[in-house]
């Protein structure tokens, strides 16, 4: 399957656009990493640059690395997916097990 996940307030807690101080949710990251390890395609989708009109790519790549995220690709454009998990659509609290 192809999965798309938002980043802010999905795999980390982010206060508005304070991306530098985002706090990772390792339980959710582990869940997604397990999907990846089982052969699924994992895309992370970020709208940080759209929201701030600033380049956020270097910080985003470093955070995903530091947090141990496994993924196929980061997407910043149009999406094609089987599941999309984001705080604005398929809410994370419904998707992730409790």
Tell whether 9 is covered by a domain.
Answer: yes
Which alpha helices (H) appear in the chain, and where do they start and end? 26-37, 48-52, 57-66, 92-95
CATH code of the domain containing 70: 3.40.50.1000
In order along its 98 residues, the chain shows pLDDT tens digits of 888 898 999 999 999 989 999 999 999 999 999 999 999 999 998 877 666 667 778 889 999 999 999 999 988 765 556 777 766 666 677 778 77
| Number of domains composing the chain | 1
**Rounded Cα gap, residues 28 and 49, in angstroms:** 23
**Residue ranges making up the domain that contains 32:** 2-93
pLDDT score for 81: 63
pLDDT score for 80: 59
pLDDT score for 64: 97
pLDDT score for 42: 96
Tell whether 98 is covered by a domain.
Answer: no
């Amino acid at each position: 399957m192809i999965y798309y996940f938002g980043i802010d307030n999905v795999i980390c807690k982010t206060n508005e656009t304070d991306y530098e101080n985002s706090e990772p949710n390792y339980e959710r990251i582990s869940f997604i990493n397990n999907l990846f390890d089982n052969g699924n395609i994992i895309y992370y989708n970020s709208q940080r640059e759209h929201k701030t009109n600033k380049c956020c790519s270097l910080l985003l790549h470093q955070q995903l690395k530091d947090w141990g995220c496994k993924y196929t690709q980061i997407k910043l454009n149009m999406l094609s997916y089987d599941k999309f998990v984001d705080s604005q659509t398929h809410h994370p609290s419904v998707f992730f097990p409790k």
